[in-house]
């Protein structure tokens, strides 16, 4: 099935031009008061209703602007209504019920291209003057000649003959995603690649709005929340208010005049919100770079009042020289930097300052190699190369001091005192240490599964769960998978399997996770003790394990408390590159 599903992407890609044309037409008609209406039967109808129902919470589009109609009515969403698709008269009554007009765009979804219900719908819509799109997966089908614009991703026969919920359903979902998302982008529901017109109706979305404000404006979490409160928790209003330096009322008026487009509202009256000029009128561009053992993230930013504005984000592979070598690491840094400029729509240039927080760059010799590359690349006038953990303190502690604890593919604790002295514990790599990391936890789980399979240790849930994760059936097969294809990152990715087993009460997994959290707490205590930070200090945590598992974070904090230490405050850092931007801007300020 995986091999068969791989045919979907090329099929959809072949229709890019038609999809783009549909996006333009739909956006124009919705802007003029029309609607996007999906209609289909069975799986096709359900996918249309699904896409329509996601638009209001995702893009804050009013109910009724995107409509999904399914043969058989709402009850057909959860159970098959046999024969409904064979009644063309139902389609006309269903479209009359939603008051289809000539202003609307109707997307008829029929995998076969010959469903009577859908064919009648597009015929009726064309008579009314509505623009019609036909989405099918068969070449030369009936619907193609009966619509204004056909979209036809031909995916080929299904692995189960006639089961159109498989490849055809996947292709349909992808096309509908592109249509609705593309339309919302054209309507100003996004700012860059950020969804800025969503409704923060739950805790997850409230956190997301705070993150978007931070990424876009450079404010910290507390200031971002205060800004949102001043703006009635309206994300777009908050962005325009901060970026343009105007009140919430003025921001709302600018958005009204700009038809809801954040960029246009910010640019009103010559204010652009994209950059801050120094005394010579030159833009203060900086680069914040976070390079780790799994990925490299680059932020291209500019000063914006008392904060900063994210212009572009680039991401590439790992850049830890100790793990992948100098050539590959520098290539990742170069690629991610170029992508950040591309995302910002700017030509690559030498910026005022760059801060690179890199895994495996704690020694002067390692830092010098990176600085030489930065000089050759004309990266920045001022280049700072530091350990990646130092970024966490800049991004996640009130005053840039405390302990940063990383639990990702690798692990370590990095401490900094208020006076600037530093210390570290852990981070010795997979052979000598990295206790508490994703790699260490996953490896311990694999070893426990192997011992259990041999009968040398107690039975554990880990055996079956790890086999399932690899798609295997016998424990003996682990040898080939781990030794032939199991690089560090791939093995570390299995850590959540062990964490889930621990939460499920498996005693073997519980022991592994408890020991891992204890090791991280020991490293934290050791780093803090070297600097005499006392019993309470700020802690910034980061890395895939901490980000994805609340339970693991709590285990770590409990293990810290068992040692008589308190994380006060504690912050979860998801984008260490934010810290790199702040440090780069600080360098610009100190050299001004």
Q: Would you please indicate which residues are annotated as catalytic (active-site) residues?
A: 54, 85
3 state SS of 143: helix
DSSP state of 277: B
Count the Cβ atoms, other than its own, within 10 Å of residue 572.
Answer: 17
Q: Note whether 244 and 266 are within 8 A (CB).
A: yes
- Cα angle 375, 379, 380 (rounded to 5 degrees) comes to 95
Rounded Cα distance, 353 and 379, in Å: 8
Rounded Cα distance, 294 and 164, in Å: 37
How far is residue 249 from each of residues 232, 256, 276, 361, 581, measured CA to CA in Å? Answer: 10, 11, 23, 48, 30
Q: Note whether 561 and 273 are within 8 A (CB).
A: no
Q: Note whether 109 and 48 are within 8 A (CB).
A: yes
Residue given tokens 């390692």 in the structure block: 366
Q: Note whether 67 and 104 are within 8 A (CB).
A: no
Rounded Cα distance, 109 and 19, in Å: 14
Q: Note whether 206 and 191 are within 8 A (CB).
A: no
Q: Note whether 566 and 403 are within 8 A (CB).
A: no
Strand pairing of 307-316 and 296-304?
antiparallel
| Burial of residue 221, with CB atoms counted within 10 A of its CB: 0-12 exposed, 13-18 middle, 19 or more buried | middle
3 state SS of 147: coil
Return contacts of 414-418, CB within 8 angstroms, 24+ apart: 414/387, 414/389, 414/390, 414/527, 415/527, 415/528, 415/530, 415/531, 415/533, 416/390, 416/531, 417/531, 417/532, 417/533
Residue given tokens 């009577």 in the structure block: 116
Using only the alpha carbons of the chain, give its radius of gyration. 27
Residue given tokens 């109609």 in the structure block: 69
Q: Provide the strand spans (E) within 510-576.
A: 536-542, 566-572
Tokens standing for residue 163:
């089961």
Rounded Cα distance, 42 and 68, in Å: 12
């Amino acid at each position: 099935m995986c091999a068969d599903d791989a045919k979907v992407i090329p099929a959809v890609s072949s229709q890019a031009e038609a999809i783009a044309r549909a996006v333009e037409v739909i956006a124009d008609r919705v802007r003029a008061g029309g609607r996007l209406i999906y209609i289909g039967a069975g799986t096709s109808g359900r996918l249309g209703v699904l896409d329509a129902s996601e638009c209001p919470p995702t893009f804050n589009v009013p109910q009724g602007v995107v409509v999904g109609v399914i043969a058989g009515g709402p009850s057909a969403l959860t159970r098959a209504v046999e024969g409904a698709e064979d009644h063309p008269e139902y389609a006309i009554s269903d479209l009359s019920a939603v008051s289809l007009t000539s202003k609307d765009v109707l997307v008829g979804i029929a995998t076969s291209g010959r469903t009577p219900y859908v064919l009648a719908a597009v015929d009726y819509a064309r008579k009314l003057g509505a623009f019609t799109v036909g989405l099918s997966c068969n070449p030369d089908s009936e619907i193609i000649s009966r619509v204004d614009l056909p979209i036809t991703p031909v995916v080929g026969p299904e692995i189960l003959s006639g089961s159109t919920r498989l490849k055809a359903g996947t292709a349909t979902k992808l096309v509908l995603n592109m249509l609705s998302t593309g339309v919302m982008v054209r309507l100003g529901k996004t700012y860059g690649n950020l969804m800025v017109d969503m409704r923060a109706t739950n805790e997850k979305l409230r956190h997301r709005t705070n993150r978007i404000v931070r990424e876009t404006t450079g404010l910290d979490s507390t200031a971002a929340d205060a800004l949102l409160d001043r703006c009635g928790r309206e994300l777009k209003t908050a962005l325009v208010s901060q970026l343009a330096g105007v009140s919430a009322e003025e921001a709302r008026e600018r958005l009204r005049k700009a038809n809801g487009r954040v960029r246009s509202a910010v640019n009103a009256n010559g204010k652009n919100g994209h950059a801050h000029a120094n005394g010579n009128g030159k833009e203060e561009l900086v680069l914040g770079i976070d390079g780790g053992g799994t990925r490299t993230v680059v932020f291209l930013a500019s000063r914006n009042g008392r904060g900063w504005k994210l212009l572009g984000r680039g991401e590439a592979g790992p850049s830890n020289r100790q793990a992948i070598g100098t050539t590959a690491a520098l290539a990742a840094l170069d690629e991610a930097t170029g992508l950040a400029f591309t995302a910002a729509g700017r030509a690559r240039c030498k910026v005022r300052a760059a801060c690179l927080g890199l895994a495996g760059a704690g020694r002067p010799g390692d830092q010098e190699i990176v600085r030489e590359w930065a000089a050759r690349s004309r990266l920045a006038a001022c280049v700072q190369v530091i350990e990646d953990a130092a970024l966490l303190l800049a991004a996640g502690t009130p005053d840039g001091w405390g302990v940063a604890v990383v639990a990702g593919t690798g692990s370590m604790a990095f401490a900094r005192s208020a006076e600037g002295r530093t210390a570290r514990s852990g981070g010795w790599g997979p052979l000598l240490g990295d206790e508490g990391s994703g790699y260490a936890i996953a490896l311990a789980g694999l070893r426990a599964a192997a011992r259990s399979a041999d009968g040398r240790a107690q039975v554990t849930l880990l055996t079956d769960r790890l086999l399932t994760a690899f798609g295997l059936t016998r424990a003996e097969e682990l040898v080939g998978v781990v030794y032939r294809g199991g690089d560090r990152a791939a093995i570390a990715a299995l850590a959540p399997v062990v964490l889930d087993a621990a939460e499920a009460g498996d005693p073997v997994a519980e022991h592994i996770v408890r020991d891992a959290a204890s090791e991280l707490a020991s490293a934290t205590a050791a780093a803090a003790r070297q600097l005499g930070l006392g019993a309470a200090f700020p802690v910034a945590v980061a890395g895939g394990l901490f980000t994805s598992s609340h339970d693991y974070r709590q285990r770590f904090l409990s293990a810290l408390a068992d040692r008589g230490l308190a994380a006060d405050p504690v912050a979860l850092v998801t984008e260490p590159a934010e810290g790199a931007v702040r440090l780069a801007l600080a360098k610009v300020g100190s050299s001004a």
